[in-house]
Amino acid sequence: MNRIRLLSEQVANQIAAGEVVERPASVVKELVENSLDAEAGKITVEIGAGGRSLIRITDDGFGMSRDDALLSLERHATSKIERAEDLASISTMGFRGEALPSIASVSRFILATRERENTSPEGTQITVNGGTIAEVRAAGSAPGTSIEVRQLFYNLPARRKFLRTEETEAAHIQHYLTLAALAHPAVAFTFIKDGRNIWQLPAQKSGAAVSSRIEALRERLRALLGDEKLLPVNFSVALEDDPYQPVPGESDIFENALPEKPALPEPKSQLRVWGLIGSPGVSRATRESQFTFVNRRPVENRGINYALIEGYHNSLMKGRYPVCCLFLEIDPAAVDVNIHPSKREVKFRREFEIRRHVAQAVHETLLAYHGEPARPQPAPTTAPPPSPPVELKFTPEPATPALPQFPETLKPPGEAPPPSPRQTPLKMGFAPPASAAPAATAQKNPAAAFHPPAAPQPAPPPAGGVTPLLEVPLRMVGVIGRLYVVLESDRGLVLLDQHAAHERILFEQMMARIESNAAAPSQKLLLPETIELPPRDAQFLREQLAALTRLGVGLNEFGERTFLLDALPPFVKVPDTRRFVFDLVDELRAAGREVNLARLGEHTVAKTVCRHAVKANDPLGGPELENLVADLRRCAMPYTCPHGRPTLIEMNYRELEKKFGRSQ
């Protein structure tokens, strides 16, 4: 008796359906991808009962002839590849030719299609029940293709009972359609659920320039997810022959979009990174608001996820994730989209290099948001001398807190207490508002400087957008809670966290020393410690010893897998040296093999400056606060501390009027 037998075509299709059709959202994904490959300009998706009872996809794409429609229901029938070599450079959304026969084998399936070029109103309609063709006939049809899938898994009750509730399945469908709509703003999408129109997205006009595509994406994102403060990303670089070469000093950045098929010399290829990312302070507790696309295909890739975190490195609070809608355009031959049955994951040929450049694109965008051009650049030949650290002298507090002083018009009758030193107006070098009290009056009566000024008229924004907060005139008002500095601008109220601001200043000064190749301070341990590591960790740490020495960590080889720790930065307190070294290895490995050496010490430096920065309840006088704001202005990324918390919060006059009920 033969134990090996060939499966029937129907069983083979149902097995394939188990890989391709996981749930109703999988059906929508495969059919919408076919519509996009057919260059549809308008796609309508209609579902019933979460996709269990009905899925109907209608497009205005190329359409098919009668013979092509019949052939499309055969396994591995496709118009997108011809040879095995084509798998190495896939530029379409679908390519395997399994979707239609797999879906038709587990549903009641109706396909109606008509070629776009066909002037006759007659098209083709094919009815399939459980993989068996029931009817083929001529029927009137609009140009394009309409596919109707009813009673999904009706002939596989075991699969049907594993489906979730209707709302859950509908949510999965809507999530995929959101990705498809974001990836293709130039395509109009309509989504109908149980006869109710959920959204109707018009096609967004966009040209070849990346700026035009970003604006189209912004409009589509606003229509789907609401308005969010997002920053445009536009970065292009030529990938090197060797993925492990260091990043060149100057990358090729192009203002215009790449041509559809760039003529690039082999083996180099071009990487374009563009899209929108959240500005500092815009984050989520999960990665659900991260939308990443490779050649317009929504993908999941751990390397891109790590690159996003690395790009934000000290602009994001712990436990938070960036918000982004990021597109990577790369030669299809440099990415493998055939490693997952449902094409959710991709693999890059130059994983580390892609990750490095994505992180660089994100980081440069954030620097531009913070106003990077104001940062002093080091000389090309010699490194600049390190700037001295900010020394803040604390004014001793009186044993009994002084009572707040009132303006003259609000003082109790017959009382004229002496003015408090803290109420003296602070000259911060900024232009005072027109409503500020004259200098002579302030000298006679310092409390008069705190009279509520008339609200200045907001200055019109410049042609390029809103002026950054630290570039507008500010006036010192006072300090509340011994932590928050109250400032006034021509736009409204500004609060400054003195601890977070000082952290940012100290952090950038310390990192500047490391970047200028100046060795970090190091203190010898009284008793050196020996640490034995596993082989893989030992090999990895051996490659990082030079970088660690520059950071003030004295680690030396003491055997095949043993290291001697004999020095640490003076500000690092290590109760458990073995744990410290293991944590250091994990941190460096998570940062990536090709990460900038200066980035390796950021976590340690951030913890250090947190201990050395001014704290809440540390009283600062006028000159100290003046220096604090002035030094913050000179920072490359002044609006967040190294841990990602904001240093400044602005509440404009519109928000204030709304809170006080003056406007709606």
What is the DSSP secondary-structure string of 37-104? HTT-SEEEEEEEGGGTSEEEEEE-S----HHHHHHTTSTT--SS--SGGGGGS--SS--SS-HHHHHH
CA distances 620 to 253, 483, 510, 575, 627, Å, are 45, 9, 23, 33, 11
DSSP code string of 239-295: EPSSTTSPPPSS----SSPPPSS----TT-EEEEEEEEEEPTT-EESSSTTEEEEET
Confidence at residue 612, expressed as pLDDT on a 0 to 100 scale: 65
Using the structure block, give the residue that is written with the tokens 């500004």.
Answer: 494
Average pLDDT over residues 36-63: 95
Confidence at residue 601, expressed as pLDDT on a 0 to 100 scale: 57
The amino acid present at 475, given as its one-letter code, is R
- Start-to-end C-alpha separation, the chain: 83
Confidence at residue 418, expressed as pLDDT on a 0 to 100 scale: 38
Q: Report H helices in 450-534.
A: 498-515
Q: What distance in Å separates the CA atoms of residue 124 and residue 47, rounded to the nearest whole number?
A: 23
Confidence at residue 606, expressed as pLDDT on a 0 to 100 scale: 66
Give the CA angle between residues 513, 517, 519 to the nearest 5°: 70
Q: What is the pLDDT of residues 495-507, one digit of tens each?
A: 999 888 888 888 8
Q: What distance in Å separates the CA atoms of residue 497 and residue 645, rounded to the nearest whole number?
A: 10
Assess contact for 292 and 328: CB atoms under 8 A.
yes
- 420 vs 240, more confident: 240
For residue 438, give the 3-state DSSP assignment: coil
603: left (phi over 0), alpha (psi -120 to 50) or beta: alpha
Confidence at residue 124, expressed as pLDDT on a 0 to 100 scale: 95
Confidence at residue 240, expressed as pLDDT on a 0 to 100 scale: 58
- Of 27-41, 387-401, 458-472, 479-493, least confident by mean pLDDT is 387-401
Confidence at residue 635, expressed as pLDDT on a 0 to 100 scale: 87
Confidence of residue 517 (pLDDT cuts 50, 70, 90): low
Confidence at residue 62, expressed as pLDDT on a 0 to 100 scale: 92
- 455 vs 350, more confident: 350
Q: What distance in Å separates the CA atoms of residue 117 and residue 389, rounded to the nearest whole number?
A: 72
Q: What is the pLDDT of residues 209-243, one digit of tens each?
A: 999 999 999 999 999 988 777 889 998 888 754 33
Confidence of residue 85 (pLDDT cuts 50, 70, 90): low
Give the CA angle between residues 35, 41, 42 to the nearest 5°: 80
Residues of the chain with pLDDT > 70, as a percent, come to 72
Confidence at residue 483, expressed as pLDDT on a 0 to 100 scale: 85
Confidence at residue 591, expressed as pLDDT on a 0 to 100 scale: 60
Element (H, E) at 329: strand 324-329
Confidence of residue 397 (pLDDT cuts 50, 70, 90): very low
Confidence at residue 76, expressed as pLDDT on a 0 to 100 scale: 76
Report which DSSP code applies to 318.
T
> Could you tell me which residues come within 8 angstroms of residue 557 by beta carbon, excluding any fewer than 6 positions away?
542, 545, 563, 564
Confidence at residue 515, expressed as pLDDT on a 0 to 100 scale: 66
CA distances 164 to 24, 194, 560, Å, are 10, 17, 54
Quote the longest CA-to-CA distance of the chain. 116
- Whether residue 191 has pLDDT greater than 90: yes
Q: Is the dihedral of CA 396, 402, 406, 411 positive or negative?
A: negative
Long-range contacts at 286-289 (CB < 8 A, ≥ 24 apart): 286/321, 287/321, 289/225, 289/321, 289/323, 289/324
Confidence at residue 113, expressed as pLDDT on a 0 to 100 scale: 96
Confidence at residue 183, expressed as pLDDT on a 0 to 100 scale: 94
- Whether residue 141 has pLDDT greater than 80: yes
Q: What distance in Å separates the CA atoms of residue 291 and residue 298, rounded to the nearest whole number?
A: 7
Q: What is the pTM of this model?
A: 0.69
Confidence at residue 624, expressed as pLDDT on a 0 to 100 scale: 81
Average pLDDT over residues 311-333: 87
- Whether residue 334 has pLDDT greater than 80: yes
- Of 156-165, 589-598, 655-664, least confident by mean pLDDT is 589-598
Q: Which two tokens stand for residue 2?
A: 């033969």
Q: What is the pLDDT of residues 241-278, one digit of tens each?
A: 433 333 333 333 333 333 344 443 444 578 999 999 98
- Whether residue 405 has pLDDT greater than 90: no
Residues of the chain with pLDDT > 90, as a percent, come to 28
Name the nearest CA neighbour of 472 among 633, 623, 656, 315.
633
Element (H, E) at 17: helix 9-20
- 435 vs 85, more confident: 85
Which backbone phi and psi does 646 adopt, to 5 degrees?
-70, 145
Confidence of residue 603 (pLDDT cuts 50, 70, 90): low
Q: Which of 121-125, 501-505, 594-598 has the highest mean pLDDT?
A: 121-125
Average pLDDT over residues 4-30: 80
Confidence at residue 602, expressed as pLDDT on a 0 to 100 scale: 64
Q: What distance in Å separates the CA atoms of residue 567 and residue 570, rounded to the nearest whole number?
A: 9
Which backbone phi and psi does 111 adopt, to 5 degrees?
-115, 125
Name the nearest CA neighbour of 587 among 607, 557, 564, 570.
607
Assess contact for 208 and 257: CB atoms under 8 A.
yes
Assess contact for 521 and 513: CB atoms under 8 A.
no
Assess contact for 251 and 361: CB atoms under 8 A.
no
- 271 vs 595, more confident: 271
Confidence of residue 404 (pLDDT cuts 50, 70, 90): very low
Confidence at residue 582, expressed as pLDDT on a 0 to 100 scale: 80
- Of 315-319, 496-500, 567-571, least confident by mean pLDDT is 567-571
Q: Which two tokens stand for residue 129?
A: 């029940």
3-state secondary structure 149-175: EECCCCCCHHHHCCCCCHHHHHHHHHH
Neighbours of 579 (CB within 10 A): 11
Q: What distance in Å separates the CA atoms of residue 552 and residue 565, rounded to the nearest whole number?
A: 11
Which backbone phi and psi does 262 adopt, to 5 degrees?
-65, 135
Mean pLDDT (the chain, rounded): 76
Confidence of residue 600 (pLDDT cuts 50, 70, 90): low
- 143 vs 338, more confident: 143
Assess contact for 339 and 333: CB atoms under 8 A.
no
Element (H, E) at 364: helix 351-370
